[in-house]
Amino acid sequence: MSSSQHFSDWLVNAEQAARSGGDFVVAILERILQEASACDASDVHFQPGKYAVEIRFRLDGVLHKIGELPSEHAAQTAARLKVLANLLTYKTASPQEGRVRSNRVPNVLKEMRISTAPTLYGERVVVRFFSEENRFHYPDELGFSDDLLQNLLRTIRKNAGAILVTGPAGSGKTTTAYALLRELADRSETLRSIVTLEDPIEHALDRVAQIETPHQGELTLRDMIKYMMRQDPEVLFVGEIRDRETAEASLQAALTGHLLITTFHAGSAADAVGRLCEIGIEPFVLRSGVSCVLCQRLVRRLCECAETPKSREPLTLEIDREKFTLSAYRLPKGCPKCGGTGYRGRALIAESLPLNDDEVMRGVLDRRETSTLRNLAKQGGMIPISARAVSLMESGVTSPHEIRRVFGGN
């Protein structure tokens, strides 16, 4: 059954609930959120338009239109979602953000974050589902290749230095950072003092002091990092580096005998180093303070219904500014199990800059271009993320279409 047919059934059920004394909007929203949770959507978008409110699910990183609600229900839909998150229903001219605890919506066990924003045709609402707490607990459950996993486990056992988990938005950086924190808190041979600064706190971690950074007031994230140094931490997690001040304060902690874990937006491991230099971080700080630069992406896994193309001609494609020729690959088909998308679940691919290589570090100190740093890293033993993507395609895990979507290129 197609998603539009599903949605039509939900509308009928909601209308029946309304006729029996219930509330149409309450009933349909419960059904939408229950279905989104059941199919493991990461986000639900309520997109208001001139004639209807479009409902979209983000499944395995890709948006899908599920159906539409009549525009006459737009205001009530936004108001109901704000009630769930304890937001101000009358405040419609400025953005709001709130949290919905598990089970607030019947049969939805995941917690949700509600974000609203005013648009031309009414309030746009995005619901973000936090991942289940019993999933992806530790680094060895994330799908890292053995060489990267062992390097990560060695690095987090150090007493100092920074671990930068990089990648674009939606690449699983926070999931990886949480897994590293759980490894330290649960599997470390000695008890360690672990403090986090997050915005927002997505999951409660045992034996970890988690602090949500303030959105208002005089204290900046840089101030919070400096203040936390007086709390005797051995491990510090900073949710994300967004500016020079945060980067300087974070790396200073790494230079003064603390293990730092943080995330940073960058397209590759070499790009992360280049961007930090561009915002004003001195190369010698990177050389002395950074232990690991990890860059990762998430790609959709092909469903078992995938097909091998009839044509056996090699396929040439560009990944991360490099060209590759594939002799074997599979393509998505679509079946009831994958909802017609051709994909089910996601796989992790990553690369790690070899900062222990003399040539790479010399390139960092000399402020070499990222393309040069990437080449030096490959000479130093780094398997680039593009090569790992090719391996996934040739083994039939994912498709060229998906790699093009995630990396861009031709």
pLDDT per residue as tens digits for the range 31-69:
999 999 998 999 999 999 999 999 999 999 999 999 999
If you write DSSP's letter for every residue of 202-245 in order, what string do you get?
-S--TT-EEEEPPSSSS--HHHHHHHHGGG--SEEEES---SHH
pLDDT at 135 over 70: no
- My answer on whether 119 and 184 are in the same domain is no
- Among 111, 129, 147, the domain-final residue is 129
pLDDT at 96 over 70: yes
Per-residue confidence (pLDDT) for residue 217, from 0 to 100: 66
In a domain, 398, yes or no: yes
- My answer on whether 296 and 320 are in the same domain is yes
Give burial (CB, 10 Å; 0-12/13-18/19+) of 119.
exposed
In a domain, 134, yes or no: no
197-241 confidence digits (pLDDT tens): 998 888 889 999 999 987 666 788 999 999 999 999 999 999 999
- My answer on whether 173 and 82 are in the same domain is no
pLDDT at 10 over 70: no
- Answer yes or no: are the C-beta atoms of 159 and 259 closer than 8 Å: yes
What mean pLDDT is predicted for residues 96-108?
Answer: 92
Per-residue confidence (pLDDT) for residue 18, from 0 to 100: 60
- My answer on whether 173 and 304 are in the same domain is yes
- My answer on whether 303 and 352 are in the same domain is yes
- My answer on whether 110 and 226 are in the same domain is no
What mean pLDDT is predicted for residues 353-363?
Answer: 92
DSSP letter for 331, please.
B
Per-residue confidence (pLDDT) for residue 199, from 0 to 100: 86
Per-residue confidence (pLDDT) for residue 409, from 0 to 100: 67
What mean pLDDT is predicted for residues 163-174?
Answer: 94
Closest CA to 320 of 394, 397, 374: 374
Kindly give, in sequence order, each residue whose CB lies less than 8 Å from that of residue 144, ignoring residues fewer than 6 positions away.
Answer: 152, 348, 350
What mean pLDDT is predicted for residues 147-166?
Answer: 96
- My answer on whether 101 and 195 are in the same domain is no
pLDDT at 102 over 80: yes
Average pLDDT of the chain is: 91
In a domain, 81, yes or no: yes
CATH number of 27's domain:
3.30.450.90
What mean pLDDT is predicted for residues 321-334?
Answer: 90
Q: Is 56 helix (H, G, I), strand (E, B) or coil?
A: strand
Dihedral-angle region of residue 105 (phi above 0 means left; psi in -120 to 50 means alpha; beta otherwise): beta
What mean pLDDT is predicted for residues 86-107?
Answer: 93
- My answer on whether 251 and 369 are in the same domain is yes
- My answer on whether 52 and 160 are in the same domain is no
Structurally, the chain folds into a number of domains equal to 2
- My answer on whether 121 and 143 are in the same domain is no
With cut-offs at 50, 70 and 90, classify the pLDDT of residue 1: very low
Note down the domain range covering 173.
139-407
What mean pLDDT is predicted for residues 262-285?
Answer: 94
- Answer yes or no: are the C-beta atoms of 94 and 118 closer than 8 Å: yes
The more confidently predicted of residues 356 and 83 is 83
Give burial (CB, 10 Å; 0-12/13-18/19+) of 315.
middle
**What six digits make up the tokens of 231?**
């709390």
In a domain, 54, yes or no: yes
- My answer on whether 202 and 329 are in the same domain is yes
- My answer on whether 274 and 336 are in the same domain is yes
Per-residue confidence (pLDDT) for residue 9, from 0 to 100: 72
Per-residue confidence (pLDDT) for residue 54, from 0 to 100: 95
What distance in Å separates the CA atoms of residue 237 and residue 70, rounded to the nearest whole number?
Answer: 45
- Among 129, 151, 177, the domain-final residue is 129
